[in-house]
Amino acid sequence: MPTTQERAYVGASGRVPEGGRLVVDVGEKTIGIFRVQGRLYAWQNICAHQGGPVCQGKMIPRVTEVIDPGGESHGFAFDESHPHIVCPWHGFEYDIQTGVHPGRPAAQLIRVAVEESEDGIYVTV
């Protein structure tokens, strides 16, 4: 069965600012577009867990724990270099740049092709 891909114009580049997000509908699909360190990433709004609206969740840096050379803990810290998107249904977290759950690589978001040209942002779904 042939499938038809649809290329959709999202808008000007400024619609997705650095560290920001834009959730759009293209036909029956909902897509989250994110910008991290200048680069765009787009994912379908379906969590790998129970299908929740992951792209509409909270954006927050990955949480790490500070361990000294002696193995002692010194509490939590944010890793600003790894922003996460958190599914609001159950809290599954994904690295926005890879779409992968940090504790279970098999839990992945569905990538959407996104491109940026002089007239703005396009996604292909």
Partner 1 sequence: MGTTKTLSGTAAAREHPVQQITTRTDSREILANARRDIARYHLDDYFIVDVDAHHVEFDSWAEILDHLENPVLRHNAKAMTQDWPRARQLAFSNHPVGLTFQDVFGRIPHQAELGEDVEKTDEHRDLTLIRRAMDSLGIKMQVVFPQPMLEMGLHPEPDIVTAITFAYNRWFARTILPRERRVRTLLSLPFHDADASMKTIREFGETPGVVGFMVTSQRHTGVHRNVYMRIYRELEERGLPLAFHAGPSWGDHMTTTMNRFLSVHSMSFVTCNMTHMTNWIVNGLPERFPKLKVIWIESGLAWVPFMMQRLDHEYLMRQSDAPLLRRLPSEYIAEMYFTSQPLEVTMPRMLEATFQAVRAETQLMYSSDWPHWDFDVPARIAGLPFLSEQAKRNILGENARRVFRL
Q: Which residues bind partner 1 (CB under 8 A)?
A: 1-11, 21-27, 30-31, 45-46, 50-53, 56-58, 60, 86, 88-91, 93, 122-124
At 118 the three-state DSSP class reads coil
CB of 23 to partner 1, least distance (A): 4
CB of 124 to partner 1, least distance (A): 7
Nearest to 43 by CA among 22, 14, 16: 22
Nearer of residues 7 and 39 to partner 1, judged by Cβ = 7
Q: Are 31 and 45 in contact (CB under 8 A)?
A: yes
